[in-house]
Every structure is written in structure tokens, then in C-alpha cells.
């Protein structure tokens, strides 16, 4: 792709809990590398924040290849949270991102409650430009027969509670693959989450019928992209209706200003752009610029006018 002039992103302030963001559009964890990779395509300092790839307390190799597969209106991935570990990330990967002027939200994960504790303790050493920590709870819990943390209210609260040592506001990234999100949200808040990120990927699978083999090396994976956007809208809507005091970051199939605005009206205070970045690395910047223009054309002076509007209230006031 030919590199073009980077579009500058005008301010459109929003707030997620105690964190003031310059713009409601963020990157989604795991879709922009460690963040600085997008600097040639996106005004990273103009985004609300760059949410970085999830890292654990220790280095982790991830899953066997192939790790991604194109699906109808989206993609399946089973990357497996490959990463260098928190300490190496802070030392080797974070400086290049901070040099862009970006606001950073770090993402951590673990395979046990103690893994989350150690990752959070290590993240405490990150500089102040890391304004929040997103706790990725869509991870297998080896202490519970590898059931996902985010599928259990008890496990969600336990993992969140031990991450306090990071010394920053925490956002709980939750899975849509549950019958009722509200008890999980309540557990995350009880564990110390200041906000929730809705949603992570939808469980999926692809099989090659000719070879009778899985198309992903790990068997199944997570579906993301436009295919899950209605799922994300419903999750944000229902949580905002039931728990209007809980700040929400919306994620899932955001590709343009319209889909971003839809999540805001459903109740999100900010949105993340993820899978669209694989097709076009300029996507987060394009959505952010487009949302500013969308608000101007619809005579929206304050993004708070949009947030939760479907419920007849302004969630930021």
C-alpha cells in the first residue's frame, strides 16, 4: 500500500470513567501490534488511545499456525496471545509507541489468578503515559479446567481483584459468549473494574471439507469484524440499560463513523477499531476523522449528546 499523508484528527473529547480521552476512537488490542507499527498511517497522538497487544507476566509463544482465516464479513483468529512478557514489553516495545505522543492503554492477560496478579504488578513500572490497563478476561483459566475467566462471575471478580497493583484504572474486557452479561459485569466492577470493554470475539470455527482438517492450527478461534457488530451493539445496549453507571468501551465490527456512532448511541463512551486495521492500517484514523465529521454534519457539538441516547439519558452527565 502506498503511504499517503496522515490525516490529523481533531479533538472530540470523551471520558471513560476517570480517564479523559481526546477522541472516542481507540485501537483494539491485538490488531495493531504494539502500536508504533501504525505510526506511518495513523495520527496516533490524535486517537483517544492506543490499546496495545495483550501481554502476560511471562513470555508466551501463542498457538500453532495457521493463526488467521478469512470468514464471511470478518475473520477468525487463534493467535493465542503471543507476547514477550510485561517487563520486556515495557523495555523494548513501549518506548517507540510513547515517542509518537500516543495515549496508551496497556492490555494484560493470564492463565491463572496469580498470572494476572504478576502481570499487574509488573505493569506498575510502566510510565504515566500508560493511563489505564485493560484486563483481557477472555482467557482459559487453568485452575478451572480451562474455562474462560469471562464466562464465570467468580473467576472474573477474582482476576480483576488481583490486578489493583498496576496502579491505574482498569477496564475489564469481556466475552459475548455467555447467556447473561450482567452478572459478569457486576463481578468485574466488584473486582475493581472502572469500565468494561464490550465485546471480545465470538467463538467460531472453520473446517476444510476437502481435507477434513481444521483451517486454524488450534482448531477453533474467535470471530471478529463486521459479522459481530450487531452482537456488540446488543451487548453494549443491554449493559448500558441495566447498569447505566458503568462506563463502556464498545468493540466489534467498527469500520466507519456510522458504526462507531451506533455503539455510542447504544451506550459506549468510546469505541475500538480492530479487524478493519488488517484490511487497511489507516482504519482507526479514518474512523476517528470520520466521526468528527459525522458529528459536525449532525450538529453534535459534544459527543456526550450521543452516549446512551437510545436510552433517553446522557451517560456522561
Catalytic residues: 139
Q: Decide: helix, strand or coil at residue 106.
A: strand
Label residues 145-183 b or e (16+ Cβ within 10 Å = b). Answer: eeebbbbbbebbbbbbbbbeebebbbbbbbbbbbeebee
Measured CA distances, 307 to 24, 208, 265, 316 (Å): 10, 43, 5, 7
Place of cell 446488543: 234
Query: What is the torsion angle, in degrees rounded to the nearest 10, for the CA atoms of residue 273, residue 218, residue 81 and residue 47?
Result: -10
Q: Are 28 and 4 in contact (CB under 8 A)?
A: no
Helix or strand holding residue 294 (H, E): helix 283-297
Count CB-CB contacts under 10 A for residue 258.
12
Q: How many residues does the chain have?
A: 317
Cα–Cα distance, 108 to 168 (Å, whole number): 13
Q: Are 113 and 160 in contact (CB under 8 A)?
A: no
Residues near 267 by beta carbon (within 8 Å), at least 6 away in sequence: 236, 237, 239, 240, 241, 244, 248, 250, 307, 308, 310, 311, 315
C-alpha cell at 131: 493511563
Q: In what order do the strands lie in the sheet with 74-77?
A: 68-71, 74-77, 220-224, 202-205
Amino acid at each position: 500500500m502506498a503511504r499517503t499523508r496522515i490525516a490529523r484528527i481533531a479533538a472530540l473529547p470523551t471520558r471513560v470513567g476517570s480517564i479523559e480521552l481526546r477522541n472516542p476512537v481507540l485501537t483494539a488490542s491485538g490488531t495493531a501490534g504494539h502500536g508504533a507499527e501504525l505510526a506511518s498511517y495513523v495520527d496516533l497522538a490524535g486517537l483517544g488511545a492506543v490499546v496495545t497487544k495483550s501481554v502476560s507476566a511471562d513470555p508466551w509463544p501463542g498457538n500453532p499456525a495457521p493463526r488467521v482465516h478469512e470468514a464471511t464479513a470478518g475473520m477468525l483468529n487463534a493467535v493465542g496471545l503471543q507476547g514477550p512478557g510485561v517487563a520486556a514489553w515495557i523495555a523494548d516495545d513501549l518506548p517507540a509507541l510513547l515517542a509518537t505522543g500516543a495515549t496508551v492503554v496497556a492490555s494484560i492477560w493470564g492463565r491463572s489468578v496469580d498470572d494476572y496478579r504478576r502481570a499487574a504488578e509488573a505493569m506498575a513500572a510502566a510510565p504515566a503515559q500508560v493511563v489505564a490497563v485493560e484486563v483481557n478476561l477472555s482467557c482459559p483459566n487453568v485452575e478451572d479446567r480451562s474455562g474462560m475467566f469471562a464466562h464465570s462471575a467468580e473467576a472474573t471478580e477474582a482476576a480483576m481483584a488481583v490486578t489493583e497493583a498496576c496502579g491505574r484504572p482498569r477496564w475489564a474486557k469481556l466475552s459475548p459468549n455467555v447467556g447473561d452479561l450482567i452478572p459478569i459485569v457486576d463481578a468485574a466492577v466488584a473486582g475493581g473494574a472502572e469500565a468494561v470493554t464490550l465485546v471480545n470475539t465470538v467463538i467460531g470455527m472453520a473446517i476444510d471439507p476437502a481435507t477434513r482438517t481444521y483451517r486454524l492450527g488450534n482448531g477453533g478461534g474467535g470471530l471478529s469484524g463486521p459479522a459481530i457488530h450487531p452482537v456488540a451493539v446488543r451487548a453494549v445496549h443491554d449493559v448500558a440499560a441495566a447498569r447505566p453507571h458503568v462506563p463502556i468501551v464498545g468493540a466489534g465490527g467498527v469500520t466507519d463513523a456510522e458504526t462507531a456512532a451506533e455503539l455510542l448511541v447504544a451506550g459506549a463512551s468510546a469505541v475500538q477499531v480492530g479487524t478493519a486495521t488488517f484490511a487497511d492500517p489507516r482504519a482507526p484514523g479514518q474512523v476517528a476523522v470520520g466521526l468528527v465529521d459525522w458529528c459536525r454534519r449532525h450538529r453534535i457539538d459534544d459527543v456526550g449528546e450521543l452516549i446512551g441516547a437510545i436510552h433517553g439519558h446522557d451517560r456522561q452527565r
